[in-house]
Amino acid sequence: MRSILEDFRGLEAEDFPAGDLLMEEGTSTGRLIVLVEGTVDVFRADEQGGEVEIASISEPGSIFGEMSMLLDLPHTASVRAAGPTRAFVVDHAEAFLRARPEIALPVAKLLARRLQAATTYLVNLKQQFQGFENHFGMVDEVLESLTHQQDEEFTPAEELPRDPRL
């Protein structure tokens, strides 16, 4: 992920002290955050008002906010600086990605890796709990939903010229 940092050169990185929220679950900011250095904790709120930690991330070049921005939905998790943290913050991420399409492929690869990990996990769960009649039996339905979900409204932004060699 370090190579993605090169795509953001020219932007000024921001410093966040320990405890600062870089992104809050349930809000819509249109932001894209790229970790330069430090560690962030990714978490979600639980039903009792507490927190469930999803991950602690310190890999430079890690990206946050891309799902929310691409799907035009609120953030699905919060991101908090675990210690002193430095990150690029792109406030108008969609416009930024449109102006710099070379960054779209690394973001797409990141999303594909996350989807592959989630799908692999669900397949393993399905194999472990096959035949269960309780909530574990729903893994099959979740996996089916993930593998066949497509946006019916998808249309290319513009028709690209066809390559005459094809």
pLDDT of 88? 95
Asked if 65 and 133 sit in the same domain, the reply is: no
pLDDT of 165? 46
Tell me the C-alpha distance between 85 and 39, whole Å: 6
What's the pTM?
0.73
pLDDT of 166? 45
Contact (Cβ atoms closer than 8 angstroms) between residue 37 and residue 86: yes
Please give the residue range of the domain that contains residue 66.
Answer: 4-99
User: And the tokens for 147?
Assistant: 């593998």
User: And the tokens for 47?
Assistant: 């039903």
pLDDT of 111? 83
pLDDT of 142? 62
Asked if 15 and 73 sit in the same domain, the reply is: yes
Query: How does DSSP classify residue 83?
Result: S
pLDDT of 57? 94
Instruction: Give 3-state DSSP helix, strand, coil % of the chain, rounded to 5.
Output: 35, 20, 40
Termini Cα distance of the chain: 33
Sites in the chain below the pLDDT cut of 70: 1-2, 131-166
In a domain, 163, yes or no: no
Asked if 140 and 90 sit in the same domain, the reply is: no
